[in-house]
Amino acid sequence: MDLSPPKPKLLIVEDDESVRTQMRWALVQEYEVLLAGDRPAALGVLENERPPVVTLDLGLPPDAGGTEEGFLALAEMLEFDPLIKVIIITGRGEKDNALKAIGLGAYDFFCKPIQTEELKVVLNRALYLSQIEHERRDLQEKLQGEAFEGMIGTDLKMQEVFASIRKVATTDVPVLIVGESGTGKELVARAIHRQGSRKGSQFITINCGAIPENLLESELFGHEKGAFTGAHIQRKGRFETAQGGTLFLDEIGELPLPLQVKLLRFLQEKKVERIGGREEIFVDARVLAATNRDLKLEINEGKFREDLYYRLGVVTILLPPLREREEDILVIATALLQRYADENRKKITGFTKQALQAIEAHNWPGNVRELENRIKRAVIMVEGSKITPEDLELSSAFKKYGSQGLKEAREALERDFIERAISKNRGNITQAAADLGISRPTLYELMEKLGMEKEK
Ligand SMILES: Nc1ncnc2c1ncn2[C@@H]1O[C@H](COP(=O)(O)OP(=O)(O)OP(=O)(O)O)[C@@H](O)[C@H]1O
Ligand SMILES: [Mg+2]
């Protein structure tokens, strides 16, 4: 069985059989050589075999003395595959035609008689470029294909989140969005609104934690003129403003208990009452809520109503922290880098190897927002064409361990590594040990030596 990687495909379009044979003979070691003697045959091979690189003789039958068929073939090939690399083979004294071909999108040209070694260099470079371009296109397609309402997520956990959003979007049930700070809760809320039938109406946001308690009730429910000192005019609350649309209650864990009662009543009866008002107003608004707190804990402490919790969280969408979306971190980082580099008109080709490692090693306590901020900063700070760990302010090893002696620094690093491996594997010691490349007993020994608790 042949286990060597498949050879790249190369199409040679040439009507002179002896030249064809010579080229084939020279290149067959490195390429899977495909041959065509005229334009229709060449297009046929292109469609069936999709070679990334082609050599094209401009003088093809029925116009073997001219160049018309050759130029036509070039145009058709590029239309079929815009990334294809076509190398023009011309006779001596036909440089003008060759240059014209390059102007039309050919990759390079080569004059007869063919010097095999030189041709190989040109072909290799063309192939290399073609691979890079294909990879980039695939990545872009992947990013576009798997981005959903502005959210990038190739990780399975995020695909599940997207599926939940699609499901709940077509209903009117309240949704509770739970996740650490910066995980994208607001994006999810907006996505639910936009994917549903209310998308043509308002999406109203209120941050329950950002408005002083004494003003929050009026903000939410509105007030009548003269309802309290300073209420000079009648005012509608956000519920009423959201009529027909969606009301997003951010940081719902901060909602004071009396307002929790009023919210519960709204969820049950779809009615609100302005402060100082005498009538109930019917409001058709969908309620979405978000929190980064553990509401169960708040319930136990008497800070959050259990009945409201169940009403709000008919459906709960859990956003995983970024550090648990292993597949996504680099994909999001790359996409954000591209976005901010374009915005700032900077030519940045990517991250250095060290930067990629630092991104993967970092714990991302601030989740996507932190990643976003670090990349924004890096795009401004970067001096070369690649982002370094310093640009991202992720060269933390020295900052973190540098002030200690070598032994202490090593132990601190070991402790960090072990903690990360254990938390990544949700406490599974066997898997954590495998990740660290040591045996389970060795891991236990190390933990004991470092004074770490086994329960962690
Ligand atoms: N999957 C993602 N792809 C791309 N950008 C994202 C993604 N998730 C979040 N972001 C971006 O990260 C930032 C934080 O997102 P968002 O404001 O929705 O988070 P949050 O959970 O509401 O945070 P907080 O709890 O701090 O309010 C936003 O700028 C958002 O555009
Ligand atoms: Mg938010």
What would the pLDDT profile of 202-249 be if each residue is shown by its tens digit? 999 999 999 998 899 999 999 999 888 888 999 999 999 999 999 999
Total Cβ atoms within 10 A of residue 236: 14
Question: CA dist 388 to 87, 322, 394, Å?
Answer: 37, 21, 9
- Would you list the DSSP string of 306-356? HHHHHHHTTEEEEEPPGGG-HHHHHHHHHHHHHHHHHHTT----EE-HHHH
Contact 200, 241 (CB under 8 A): no
Q: What is the pLDDT of residue 150?
A: 86
Residues in the chain, how many? Answer: 456
CA-based end-to-end distance of the chain? 49
Closest Cα to atom 2 of ligand 1: 151
Ligand nearest to the CA of 178: 1
Peptide bond into 8 cis (omega under 30): no
Q: What is the pLDDT of residue 452?
A: 87
Say how far apart CA 174 and CA 314 lie, in whole Å: 6
- Helix H or strand E segment including 288: strand 286-291
Q: What is the pLDDT of residue 1?
A: 55
Those residues of the chain that have pLDDT short of 70 are: 1-3, 92, 141-146, 396-403, 454-456
Contact 172, 286 (CB under 8 A): yes
Q: Return all residues near 332 (Cβ < 8 A) that are at least 6 apart.
A: 152, 322, 368, 371
Contact 134, 52 (CB under 8 A): yes
- 252-296 pLDDT tens trace: 999 999 999 999 999 999 999 999 999 999 999 999 999 999 899
Q: Residue 147 Cα, ligand 1 centroid: separation in angstroms? A: 13
> Nearest Cα to 4, choosing from 29, 35, 25?
29
Q: Tell me 5's DSSP state.
A: P
Closest Cα to atom 15 of ligand 1: 184
Q: What is the pLDDT of residue 401?
A: 64
Max CA pair span of the chain: 100
Q: Whole-model pTM above 0.75?
A: no
> Does the beta carbon of 182 sit less than 6 angstroms from any atom of ligand 1?
yes
> What is the atom index within ligand 1 of the atom nearest the CA of 187?
18
Q: Residue 150 Cα, ligand 1 centroid: separation in angstroms? A: 10
Q: Residue 219 Cα, ligand 2 centroid: separation in angstroms? A: 18
Q: Are strands 222-223 and 235-236 parallel, antiparallel or unpaired?
A: antiparallel
- Would you list the DSSP string of 139-201? HHHHHHHHEETTEE--SHHHHHHHHHHHHHHTS---EEEEE-TTSSHHHHHHHHHHHSTTTTS
Q: Residue 322 Cα, ligand 2 centroid: separation in angstroms? A: 15
Q: What is the pLDDT of residue 98?
A: 87
Beta bridge partners of 288: 175, 248
54: three-class secondary structure by DSSP: strand
> Does the beta carbon of 275 sit less than 6 angstroms from any atom of ligand 1?
no
Q: Tell me 243's DSSP state.
A: T
Q: What is the pLDDT of residue 2?
A: 56
> What is the atom index within ligand 1 of the atom nearest the CA of 182?
23
Beta bridge partners of 286: 246
> Does the beta carbon of 320 sit less than 6 angstroms from any atom of ligand 1?
no
Q: Residue 239 Cα, ligand 1 centroid: separation in angstroms? A: 24
Return phi, psi of residue 379, to 5°: -60, -35
Q: What is the pLDDT of residue 191?
A: 96
Pocket test for ligand 1, best of 186, 291, 367 (most atoms within 8 A of CB): 186
Q: Residue 87 Cα, ligand 1 centroid: separation in angstroms? A: 47
Say how far apart CA 433 and CA 431 lie, in whole Å: 5
